[in-house]
Amino acid sequence: MLARTYRIHIFLALVALAIIVYPRYAHKPDQQRLDASGAAAYQFLTLVDEQHYEQSWHVCADYLKNTVPLGQWRQQLAAARSAAGSLKERKQTDYTYTKEAKQGVPEGEYMVYSYASIFTNKTHAKETVTLMLTSDGSWRVAGYFID
């Protein structure tokens, strides 16, 4: 009788563990998606770091380009990066993969990379780069923020 009670408890513990752990692993991208999106984020950040704001806009997703015109992009990005200063250090702290559609955002696959960054004028910054998988199979930037 006691052995049956233990088996039930072990089974319930395993079910609870699966409920807790499964969502974390269900939203992990495969290595190819992770590598391709990471390379696209790196390319974008390199352009921004080198103040090639117009080129950075051209590598963005059409969703962003249709939302933010090139002139506005250059102006806002130049102002944000000027206030922060030049990059001294950047370290990726996290990434999130999702296929869940949010209100006002097109359906699709998204990767969101978070970085802890140090700039000359802003020593504790958080950069966020959001990428979306486009219809041609490439990852393109759909958003960039410095907090």
Is the model's pLDDT at 15 over the cut of 50?
A: no
Question: Do residues 141 and 61 make contact, with C-beta atoms less than 8 angstroms apart?
Answer: yes
Residues 6+ apart with CB under 8 A from 118: 87, 88, 89, 90, 124, 125
Mean pLDDT of 1-18: 50
CA distance 59 to 136: 13
Structure tokens at 26: 């269900």
pLDDT of residue 36: 97
This prediction's pTM: 0.80
For residue 124, give the DSSP letter: S
Of the candidates 137, 111, 106, 122, the residue with the CA atom closest to the CA atom of residue 42: 111
**Strands 125-133 and 139-146, how do they pair?**
antiparallel
pLDDT of residue 17: 43
Residues 6+ apart with CB under 8 A from 46: none
pLDDT in tens, 44-86: 999 999 999 999 999 999 999 999 999 999 999 999 999 999 9
pLDDT of residue 38: 97
What proportion of the chain, given as a percentage, has pLDDT over 70?
A: 80
pLDDT of residue 13: 47
